[in-house]
């Protein structure tokens, strides 16, 4: 067993930082690999009604949990939120600010599909308060985009990044996938080089996986062999490092000071309100005995009727695994003091799993921090399995 100097000071600390996730579920076409709560738009979108429902959803959560806290970040995801008009996004953000205070210079991200980029519209998004974009490029090869069911082409992907720069977004992410059907190492390297050349502040680089309840899971395409996928990953990561993109999370790479603050809050076991169809949230009222998960109705029409919302309390014995599932995604790992602060639990609640992971070389303990070794990083599921009750 590891010997800890256990501090009780955490019992007096404030609750974790609070973020806000907003889900807009509509997209133009459902991608065959996508397991998010997204729905192909049919006809005119009910923008005004949906924005009103989002703000009512927020009001109810604030009232239910008696929240009087500052919002540190906002992330508007989907679906394709950039399908909505800039006026709708402006109304939404103004309505949020009327209900809860925003941290000064809070990070406010909007997910966007390259096919929806127009200079005037994205300039108006910026004027509405959006200060970060996450652009779903996935690849710069048209044949791969077609196989992935993407509605944009490579030219539109390049143009989207150019527009982002031109209208003043100096902080934006590009999403890229690897391990695509029939993808060669040369094509994957070209994708990374093209992304770097577009000068984003952040790149999300993740492997295509065949998730349950997707078209690709039911009708799986032929993917590259594991050895090739691993080689692609290693060589692409080297290119990212050479251009000073630091890997701070399993699939996230950022220039200095440009880590996604919203996602960092998730991974550090912070709190977040989740509003919108299918949105999830985590709210601490007191630690460890009053931490709640929330889930909103997935079907947009059901959500618009404001029914079928779920709230459940996280059992204290489940918290160590919940914490580890998030925190160990980060290269920096975690400290015992932080664990105590955000969970309200003593260090002993991590035992014997923590000692076992260290003894097996899956976790490293240095300067009061625990983080995955290279072995643990490659076998993260094995690390997490030790914390399952």
Q: Which CATH number covers residue 193? A: 3.20.20.70
Task: Determine the pLDDT at residue 378.
Answer: 84
Residue 372 backbone phi and psi in degrees, to 5: -70, 135
Contacts with 4 (C-beta within 8 Å, 6 or more apart), sequence order: 336, 347, 348
Query: Residues of 240-255 as b/e, b for ≥16 C-beta within 10 angstroms?
Result: beeeebebbbbebbbb
Q: What is the pLDDT of residues 286-321, one digit of tens each?
A: 877 789 999 999 999 999 998 778 999 999 899 999
Q: Is residue 218 part of a domain?
A: yes
Q: What's the structural domain count of the chain?
A: 1
Interval 358-380 mean pLDDT: 91
Quick check: is 243 in a domain?
yes
Alpha-carbon separation of residue 38 from 29, 206, 240, 311, 367 (angstroms): 9, 20, 30, 22, 43
- Radius of gyration from C-alpha coordinates of the chain: 21
Give, in degrees to the nearest 5, the angle at Cα 202 between 197 and 208: 90
Q: pTM value?
A: 0.94
8 A C-beta contact, residue 216 and residue 32: yes
Phi, psi dihedrals of residue 218, rounded to the nearest 5°:
-75, -40
Whether residue 377 is contained in a domain is answered as: no
Residue 356 lies in a domain: no
Q: Is the pLDDT of residue 155 over 70?
A: yes
Residue 367 domain flag: no
Band of pLDDT at residue 7, cut at 50, 70 and 90: very low
pLDDT at 15: 87
111 to 22, 80, 283: CA distances (angstroms): 11, 7, 24
Report yes or no on 270 lying in a domain. Answer: no
Q: Which two tokens stand for residue 155?
A: 């030219």
Per-chain mean pLDDT for the chain: 93
Which residues constitute the domain of residue 119?
15-265
């Amino acid at each position: 067993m590891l010997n800890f100097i256990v501090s009780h000071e955490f019992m007096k600390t404030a609750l974790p930082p609070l973020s806000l996730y907003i889900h807009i579920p509509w997209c133009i076409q459902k991608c065959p690999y996508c397991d998010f709560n997204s729905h192909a738009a049919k006809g005119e979108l009910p923008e005004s009604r949906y924005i009103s429902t989002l703000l009512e959803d927020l009001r109810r959560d604030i009232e239910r949990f008696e929240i009087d806290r500052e919002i540190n970040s906002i992330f508007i995801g989907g679906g394709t939120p950039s399908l909505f008009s800039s006026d709708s996004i402006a109304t939404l953000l103004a309505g949020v600010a009327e209900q809860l205070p925003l941290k000064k210079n809070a990070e406010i991200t909007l997910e966007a599909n390259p096919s929806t980029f127009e200079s005037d519209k994205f300039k108006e998004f910026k004027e509405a308060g959006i200060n970060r974009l996450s652009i779903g490029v996935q690849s710069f090869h048209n044949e791969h985009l077609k196989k992935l069911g993407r509605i944009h082409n490579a030219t539109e992907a390049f143009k989207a990044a150019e527009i982002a720069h031109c209208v003043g977004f100096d902080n934006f992410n590009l999403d890229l996938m690897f391990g695509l059907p029939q993808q060669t190492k040369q094509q994957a390297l070209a994708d990374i080089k093209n992304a770097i050349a577009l000068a984003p502040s952040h790149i999300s680089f993740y492997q295509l996986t065949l998730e349950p309840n997707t078209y690709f899971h039911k009708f799986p395409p032929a993917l590259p062999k594991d050895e090739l996928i691993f080689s692609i990953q290693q060589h692409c990561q080297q290119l990212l490092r050479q251009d000073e993109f630091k890997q701070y999370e399993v699939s996230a790479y950022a220039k200095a000071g440009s880590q996604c603050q919203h996602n960092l809050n998730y991974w550090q076991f912070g709190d977040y309100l989740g509003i919108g169809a299918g949105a999830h949230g985590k709210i601490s009222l007191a630690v460890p005995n009053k931490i709640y998960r929330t889930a909103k109705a997935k079907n947009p029409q059901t959500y618009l009727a404001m029914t079928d919302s779920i709230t459940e309390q996280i059992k204290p014995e489940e918290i160590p695994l919940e914490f580890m599932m998030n925190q160990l995604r980060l290269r920096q790992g975690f400290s015992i003091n932080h664990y105590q602060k955000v969970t309200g639990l003593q260090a002993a609640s991590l035992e014997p799993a923590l000692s076992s992971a260290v003894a097996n070389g899956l976790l490293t303990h240095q300067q009061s921090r625990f983080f995955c070794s290279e072995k643990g990083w490659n076998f993260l599921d094995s690390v997490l399995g030790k914390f399952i009750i």
